[in-house]
Amino acid sequence: MKLPESNAPSLFDRRAVALHRARAQDEALFLHRATVDEVQDRLSMVNKTFTAPAIVTPFAHIWREVIPEAEFVPDDEVLALQPGTHDLVIHAMALHWANDPVGQLIQCRRALRPDGLLLVVCLGGETLHELRAALGEAEIEVTGGLSPRIAPMAELRDLGGLLQRAGFALPVADTARLTAEYRDILHLMHDLRAMGEANSLSGRLKQPTKRQVFARAQQLYADNFQTLERRLTATYELICLTGWSPDDSQQKPLRPGSAKTRLADALGTKEGKLSN
């Protein structure tokens, strides 16, 4: 089935995303490995055996040792997933680079069989808030302006709402935070490049940044987010989404007024009158 053309604005330069990922270094992909652990933990709590999994990921080799039987597809704008083929789809550390995240989720739902599970892990809005604050304040002070440097990432509530918009049943969204430490701001930015997570915004600055901006950002970062060991802390927020492809066998919420037991009886108390 051919998907309709997306009207979503191109916030991200997908060619730049691909180039940055091509230069990624395996030893720097600790967030992707943390995602594997998170997914395994969540699947262990699901009382169901999955026989036809698919994994949307830019780094398939990280998953092959864990779920070798899965079909691996890149996170292109149009996912290479056949409708109704899978009972499990894992969208791993890629949704935060999607120009049309709702479209990505809809494609995943179409790829699922009835009562199939979607599990998404992506970066959330608290990610790199320290770097965002330091660079922003430094650039304003030094240049008098502000350029797009760190991608805006969705908040937990917003991503949970996307699951419902995409038609998933029983949606759940929660978060886990990881903290890393770096020698200085240049060490942090080097690590982001090694992860393939460097700035890929379409509106990013296309000319070199003044050294004074980074020098001032380093000072601000250290003033506000330095450990006792004089290292800089950086937050990575992993947002985890789960949703099920609708099926008649799933639990349905009761209609208002359909309860057969009074709350007072269940609590073992007497029901009193409301007073003015």
Tens-digit pLDDT profile for residues 78-99:
999 999 999 999 999 999 999 9
Residue with tokens 């379409």: 202
Residue 166, sorted as left (phi over 0), alpha (psi -120 to 50) or beta, turns out to be alpha
8 A C-beta contact, residue 56 and residue 90: yes
**How much of the chain, in percent, has pLDDT values that exceed 70?**
87
Q: Of the given ranges (167-171, 180-184, 202-206), which has the lowest mean pLDDT? A: 202-206
Tens-digit pLDDT profile for residues 148-159:
888 888 899 899
Tens-digit pLDDT profile for residues 67-76:
999 999 999 9
| Residue 146 pLDDT greater than 60, yes or no | yes
What's the order of all strands across the beta sheet hosting 86-92? 71-73, 53-56, 86-92, 112-123, 232-244, 169-182
Q: How far apart are CA 73 and CA 54, in angstroms?
A: 7
8 A C-beta contact, residue 52 and residue 88: yes
Q: Of the given ranges (20-29, 108-117, 260-269), which has the lowest mean pLDDT? A: 260-269
SS3 242: strand
Question: How many other C-beta atoms can be found within 10 angstroms of the C-beta atom of residue 73?
Answer: 17
Instruction: Taking residues 238-258, report their average pLDDT.
Output: 80
Q: Of the given ranges (39-48, 53-62, 123-132, 262-271), which has the lowest mean pLDDT? A: 262-271
Instruction: Taking residues 255-269, report their average pLDDT.
Output: 57
Of 76, 35, 243, 34, whose CA–CA distance to 159 is shortest? Answer: 243
pTM of the model: 0.86
Q: What is the DSSP string of 158-183?
A: HHHHHHHHTT-EEEEEEEEEEEEEES
SS3 71: strand
How far is residue 264 from each of residues 11, 209, 270, measured CA to CA in Å? 53, 66, 6
pLDDT for residue 1: 44
The token pair that represents 59 in the structure block: 């780094």
How far is residue 261 from each of residues 178, 219, 257, 267, 268, measured CA to CA in Å? 45, 63, 10, 11, 12
pLDDT for residue 4: 47
8 A C-beta contact, residue 93 and residue 35: yes
Tens-digit pLDDT profile for residues 193-221:
999 999 999 988 878 888 999 999 999 99
Instruction: Taking residues 5-33, report their average pLDDT.
Output: 88
Please give the residue that has the higher pLDDT: either 202 or 3: 202
| Residue 3 pLDDT greater than 60, yes or no | no
| Residue 209 amino acid letter | T
